[in-house]
Amino acid sequence: MKVKLLTIGDEILIGQTVDTNSAYIAQKLNGIGLEVEEIISIADRSETIIQALQNSISETDVLITTGGLGPTNDDVTKLALCEFLDTELILDEFVLKELEERFAKQGRELNKLNRNQTLLPKKSIALRNILGTAPGIWTEFQNTIIINLPGVPFEMKNLMKTEVLPRLQQKFNLPFVVHRFLSVSDYPESELAIALEGWENNLPQHLHFAYLPERNKIKLRITGIGKVKSVMEKEIDAEVEKLVPLIGDRLDSTTRDTIEIILGEKLKDLNLSIATAESCTGGNISFLLTSAPGSSEYFKGGIVSYATEVKERVLGVSNELIQKHTVVSSEVAEAMAKGVREHLQTDVGVSTTGVAGPAKGEDGKEVGTIWIGIADKNSVTSVKYFFPYLEREDFIAQVSRLALQNVFKFLNGKI
Amino acid sequence: MKVKLLTIGDEILIGQTVDTNSAYIAQKLNGIGLEVEEIISIADRSETIIQALQNSISETDVLITTGGLGPTNDDVTKLALCEFLDTELILDEFVLKELEERFAKQGRELNKLNRNQTLLPKKSIALRNILGTAPGIWTEFQNTIIINLPGVPFEMKNLMKTEVLPRLQQKFNLPFVVHRFLSVSDYPESELAIALEGWENNLPQHLHFAYLPERNKIKLRITGIGKVKSVMEKEIDAEVEKLVPLIGDRLDSTTRDTIEIILGEKLKDLNLSIATAESCTGGNISFLLTSAPGSSEYFKGGIVSYATEVKERVLGVSNELIQKHTVVSSEVAEAMAKGVREHLQTDVGVSTTGVAGPAKGEDGKEVGTIWIGIADKNSVTSVKYFFPYLEREDFIAQVSRLALQNVFKFLNGKI
């Protein structure tokens, strides 16, 4: 089974929009055993689209496009498809009726451009889009299924779930793809690779192994494809069992879970609650914590103390301490962590104070300086990092994950 | 000038990683007048890479690849490039020396895999990567410049800024690409397109116009390419002047600024400070506010009141009010907004309380229900939305932007 994705729209090519649609579609297809072989992003010009359809179709079983189904002049996917299929547009009565009813409920009437959206290529069928005016399009042409979805992410996602995935599952008898992820900390990639060399060379041909480096961390992925899911899973489990002792105590977790989920499980196990006091991370740590399922069991809330006066008044950091050590200091980070756990009455408090840039801190501290503070009822500690070369958003993302990793280490008695 | 990007790595194809690198590279290239024609993501297998190089090279002036330069077995870009160029790997003495010095400072020695990273194809030159062990690679082959960058985002970004962009600028005498963005609210796309039809049909050939729909909002983009930037800008300005009265009062802003920047400017103009009280958005609104440059002038901080007890104790929302109206209610949203502006002593307070899902709220409220509260010293108001079909992360992103949009409307006396 060969699957390709085709993303249509200038906004991707000029970098205005990050192509999150393809990742979503690829993940969902993976879940039903379909592997994406190639993702292509092209401009929303008719001849470019037709050319891409011609190039992609010959060796492809499923081609999914996103974008260019809207009502405006720069939405040319449907016309390009029509020309490619050498067919004409005809009215889909069912789509029209459904849309008229939906508009009537809102007291609106279809205009000419909405009406155009109910026209479909003669050889195609409509995929019902309850969240927008453009139906998805499903065309079986030669040996390829061409699926056109709107580029608006929430419409695309709903169409994937309600229309595309069920139809593909029904159509094909699919193998399963199983991924297993391991996360390793503080292990240089090249040294890890040498440690795992012998194991990797003995891996069965149908299992694939990959290193995915992040800062201070490497994700390892083992992937297998096969007809019987349980057999595949057992095989991969056996490999993981061999792998774990080779990595030693720098192994973080044998699941694909993110640090917010790993920490959340730990907090649940220990029956501890947590609160955040954030300065330069601006609420991102709190946001990460809430993104873990069931986080309301342990996450009570947080204080974003962007202004120094909020650090003083709400978190109870003394003005003398700030004057003596500056806002970006070990002492203030620790006082913030203590302050927030008292103010929000939690077992653990975690804090950040640093300079995310682009400008230097008020006290002249270098961009990239960060202190993370952690407190529980018995102790308080802090950790310093310095990332002068990271852009602001990367800095914040990095520091937020490190803060949670350090809380995890703290709870394990490792700092 | 034809530019293509080639993203190498299975993690993109299985949807584990969103391809943010391409958006970054495309944006930076746009800034020096280079337009990306196509972005292709492929697997990290040697034959696939060689095939993609062969397919891409013929009509391309610049081809930038990311990924596959690491030290491990699944990093095959360099070997594939070598095979494609029909050349051999030779040691780059300068890269080796620089790396040895860097390792020595950390008390480490190069292992065999690190040493392998200092080998480069004979026809290529190294691009200095101070943040990692893999140098970027610059190769001039036939009529194409092939540039290989590591896939780790912070390494790639640094290489783009310090090596790739300056070299490309030096190499070519480039035209300028100018984009102008307008944002329109509450205007159905098809109706807007009809209103702008006449104007669009009269647009000069070398200007390109696009609709970028989001929920409740449409971004419009006018793009021009030309040798003299100031001439292009004047031409686009003239078109914007014609466009503005056609859109009427549903026009948000004639800049490409995001709502956090637009609201930030408004708060600065009015000399007002703001604080956030967030429940289901978990700190995301606060994070958005801090991402605007200069936000410390007006953003004092926020409270993430994930637990009901924090709403009561820290924000001063009374237990009776919660019992009577439930946590997800107009009354509680308004009490939170009032509470946070008092607690953090700001002019304006904005709050959210809702059910992001996937599970229903404690009080049985439907997933997708959200109340946004806004208070200043004279008044308090609240707005309700219901987005039952959005996935959790989209819901939070959507609600966060809407909260800021509503504060903007509130400050303009429109709600």
Tell me the three-class secondary structure of B230-246, residue by residue: HHHHHHHHHHHHHHHHH
Cβ atoms of B272 and A263 closer than 8 Å: no
| Residue predicted with more confidence, A233 or A253 | A233
Q: Which of residues 322-351 of A touch B (CB under 8 A)?
A: 343-345
DSSP classification of residue A123: T
Measured between CA atoms, how close is B412 to chain A, in angstroms?
A: 25
Chain A contact for B233, CB < 8 A? no
Cβ atoms of A232 and A238 closer than 8 Å: no
Chain A contact for B215, CB < 8 A? yes
Chain A CA closest to residue B28? A15
CATH topology of domain B176-253: Alpha-Beta Plaits (3.30.70)
State pTM to two decimals.
Answer: 0.75
Quote the CATH superfamily of domain B259-411.
CinA-like (3.90.950.20)
Chain A contact for B74, CB < 8 A? yes
Q: Which of residues 100-159 of A touch B (CB under 8 A)?
A: 108, 111-114, 117, 130-131, 133, 152-154, 157-158
Confidence of residue A373 (pLDDT cuts 50, 70, 90): very high
Cβ atoms of B13 and A35 closer than 8 Å: yes
Fold agreement between B176-253 and B259-411:
no
Confidence of residue A299 (pLDDT cuts 50, 70, 90): very high
User: Mean of the pLDDT values across residues B356-377?
Assistant: 83
CB contact under 8 A, B16 and A343: no
- B43 chain-A contacts, CB cut-off 8 A: 37
Burial class (CB in 10 A: 0-12, 13-18, 19+), B100: middle
The amino acid sitting at A299 is F
* Phi, psi torsion values for A343, nearest 5 degrees: -65, -40
Q: Which has the minimum average pLDDT: A100-104, A356-360, B57-61, B308-312?
A: A356-360
Report whether pLDDT(A137) > 80. yes
C-alpha distance from residue B337 to each of A292, B374, B406 (Å)? 26, 5, 13
Q: Tell me what pLDDT residue B213 has.
A: 83
Confidence of residue A254 (pLDDT cuts 50, 70, 90): low
Confidence of residue A256 (pLDDT cuts 50, 70, 90): low
Q: Tell me what pLDDT residue B237 has.
A: 87
Chain A contact for B244, CB < 8 A? no
Contacts of A45-52 with C-beta under 8 Å, sequence gap 24+, read A45/A76, A46/A76, A46/A79, A46/A80, A46/A83, A49/A8, A49/A76, A49/A77, A49/A80, A49/A81, A49/A84, A50/A80, A50/A83, A50/A84, A52/A6
C-alpha distance from residue B157 to each of A344, A394, B29, B340 (Å)? 39, 10, 12, 39
| Residue predicted with more confidence, A67 or A415 | A67
CB contact under 8 A, B38 and A40: yes
Q: Tell me what pLDDT residue A213 has.
A: 83
Cβ atoms of B314 and B305 closer than 8 Å: yes
Domain regions of chain B by residue span: 3-171, 176-253, 259-411
Measured between CA atoms, how close is B153 to chain A, in angstroms?
A: 9
Chain A contact for B304, CB < 8 A? yes
Among A190, A276, A391, select the one facing B71 at the smallest CB separation. A190
Total Cβ atoms within 10 A of residue A358: 9
Chain B contact for A400, CB < 8 A? no
ipTM for the whole complex: 0.74
Quote the CATH superfamily of domain B3-171.
MoaB/Mog-like domain (3.40.980.10)
* Phi, psi torsion values for B376, nearest 5 degrees: -125, -165
Cβ atoms of A53 and A87 closer than 8 Å: no
